[in-house]
């Protein structure tokens, strides 16, 4: 008698900005097991492999192994240790995480108390090592009585707990938008790329610069900046010697000479902004760009896909080799941030 063993589809746990669960699910093209509105996470199945770098709305990508429900109040440690998978055998990091919601924030004190207890047990058994190349172990608490246990690969996930790079607001920065650009450099560029592509004396253009948050950050990195906006700059950038403020239309301005960086945070239709930036790269006005796309409340995934397809069409026609990535950063709201770089062949 022949027996057929059915294999359970691989399940994935993805974190996202609360309110964007549907968009996170839609871009994976997977089936949802859990995708509750405003929960800050989804669980999907039916995809044997996903690439984190190709996902825009996912803050973190975790291979889900087990779910533990009805955790006892007096002893959560024992059932969690029993549920940790045998494979992989060793982990480089342990992250205890919660949803990025008001309810999730109430668990922060519990997480801080519980983390060292679990770490001690895992280290004593030889399963937790200080090795960043090893898989990470995630224990995600939607609430105190439920835990989702999974692992992530360092090369295919976000390199921060909860998928969030937290930034401190600089005192002198003209606006909180500075945090978006600072986070973008951390998310999109490796340490080697930052050393190569961000150097004092480089030249940048900031389109839609006012009140000057992105310009301020570029100046802090040592760059010479042309800030283009009909509106006024504020604070220290208004009279900074490394800043040239041009009161012009950002869609019409072009530099006389190529610049190292173009950044753009203008409020405009995403397809129009994407077309503008792709033209800068296609004509050689810049080789690298970071820009924001303000997405509509409905059909966010479709609007983003249309904008990025437009960029690819322009650069493919030129025969360029390039890198194009989009992420909804922690400091973004109804928008995503895009990185585009022309690469050497």
Taking only the tens place, the pLDDT of each residue in 49-99 is 999 999 999 999 999 999 999 999 889 999 999 999 999 999 999 999 999
Residues 201 and 305 in one domain: yes
- Residue 231 in domain: yes
pLDDT given for residue 138 in this prediction = 98
Residues 77 and 217 in one domain: no
For the segment 150-179, what is each residue's pLDDT rounded down to a tens digit?
A: 999 999 999 999 999 989 999 999 999 999
The SS3 call for residue 190 is coil
For the segment 239-277, what is each residue's pLDDT rounded down to a tens digit?
A: 999 999 999 999 999 999 999 999 999 999 999 999 999
- Residue 266 in domain: yes
Task: Please state, rounded to an integer, the average pLDDT across all residues of the chain.
Answer: 95
Cβ neighbours of residue 313 closer than 8 Å, sequence gap 6 or more = none
Residues 149 and 53 in one domain: yes
- Residue 154 in domain: yes
Distance CA 272, CA 304 (A): 11
pLDDT given for residue 299 in this prediction = 95
- CATH number of residue 304's parent domain: 3.40.50.150
The SS3 call for residue 28 is helix
Residues 182 and 310 in one domain: yes
Residues 96 and 218 in one domain: no
Annotated catalytic residue 294? yes
pLDDT given for residue 1 in this prediction = 37
- Residue 324 in domain: yes
Structure tokens at 79: 């059932």
- Residue 79 in domain: yes
pLDDT given for residue 4 in this prediction = 42
Instruction: Residue 136: name the closest of 65, 36, 225, 78 by CA.
Output: 65
Look up the pTM and report it: 0.94
For the segment 176-230, what is each residue's pLDDT rounded down to a tens digit?
A: 999 999 999 999 999 999 999 999 999 999 999 999 999 999 999 999 999 999 9
- Residue 240 in domain: yes
Q: What are the distances in angstroms from CA 37 to CA 16, 17, 34, 84, 119?
A: 11, 10, 10, 28, 32
- CATH number of residue 88's parent domain: 3.30.2130.30
Q: Give the active site residue among 294, 298, 317, 327.
A: 294
For the segment 126-144, what is each residue's pLDDT rounded down to a tens digit?
A: 999 999 999 999 999 999 8
pLDDT given for residue 260 in this prediction = 98
Residues 199 and 238 in one domain: yes
Query: In percent, how much of the chain has pLDDT > 90?
Result: 94
Residue 73's domain comprises: 11-163
Does position 5 have pLDDT exceeding 70, yes or no?
Answer: no
DSSP code per residue over 284-340: TSBSEEEEEEE--SS-HHHHHHHHHHHHHHHHHHHT-EEEEEEE--TT-SSEEEEEE
Does position 3 have pLDDT exceeding 50, yes or no?
Answer: no
pLDDT given for residue 7 in this prediction = 62
Query: In percent, how much of the chain has pLDDT > 70?
Result: 98
pLDDT given for residue 74 in this prediction = 87
How far apart, in Å, do the first and last CA atoms of the chain sit?
58
Distance CA 76, CA 256 (A): 64
- Residue 4 in domain: no
Residues 146 and 191 in one domain: no
Number of domains the chain is built from: 2
Residues 215 and 332 in one domain: yes
Residues 194 and 339 in one domain: yes
Distance CA 46, CA 22 (A): 17
Burial of 6 (0-12, 13-18, 19+ CB in 10 A): exposed
């Amino acid at each position: 008698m022949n027996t057929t063993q059915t294999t359970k589809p691989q399940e994935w746990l993805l974190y996202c900005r609360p309110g964007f669960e549907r968009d996170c699910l839609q871009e994976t093209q997977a089936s949802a097991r859990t995708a509750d509105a405003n929960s800050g996470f989804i669980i999907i199945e039916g995809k044997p492999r996903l690439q984190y770098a190709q996902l825009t709305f996912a803050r973190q990508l975790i291979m889900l192994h087990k779910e533990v429900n009805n955790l006892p109040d007096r002893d959560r440690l024992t059932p969690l240790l029993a549920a940790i998978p045998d494979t992989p055998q060793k982990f480089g990091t342990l992250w205890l995480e919660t949803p990025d919601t008001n309810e999730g924030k109430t668990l922060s004190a519990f997480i801080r108390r519980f983390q060292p207890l679990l770490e001690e047990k895992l280290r004593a058994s030889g399963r937790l090592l200080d090795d960043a190349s090893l898989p990470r172990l995630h224990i995600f608490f939607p609430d105190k009585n439920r835990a989702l246990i999974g692992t992530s690969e360092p090369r295919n996930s976000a390199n921060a707990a909860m998928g969030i790079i937290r930034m401190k607001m600089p005192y002198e920065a003209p606006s909180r938008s500075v945090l978006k650009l600072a986070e973008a450099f951390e998310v999109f560029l490796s340490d080697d790329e930052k050393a190569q592509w961000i150097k004092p004396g480089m030249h940048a253009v900031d389109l839609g610069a006012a009140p000057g948050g992105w310009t301020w950050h570029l100046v802090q990195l040592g760059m010479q900046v042309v800030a283009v906006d009909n509106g006024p700059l504020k604070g220290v950038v208004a009279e900074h010697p490394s800043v040239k403020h041009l009161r012009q239309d950002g869609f019409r301005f072009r530099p006389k000479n190529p610049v190292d960086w173009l950044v753009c945070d203008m409020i405009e239709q995403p397809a129009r902004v994407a077309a503008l930036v792709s033209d800068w790269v296609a004509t050689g006005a810049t080789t690298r760009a970071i820009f924001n796309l303000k997405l509509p409340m409905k059909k966010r995934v479709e609007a983003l896909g249309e904008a990025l397809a437009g960029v690819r069409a322009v650069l493919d026609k030129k025969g360029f080799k390039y890198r194009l990535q989009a992420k909804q950063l922690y400091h973004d709201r109804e928008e995503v941030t895009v990185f585009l770089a022309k690469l050497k062949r």
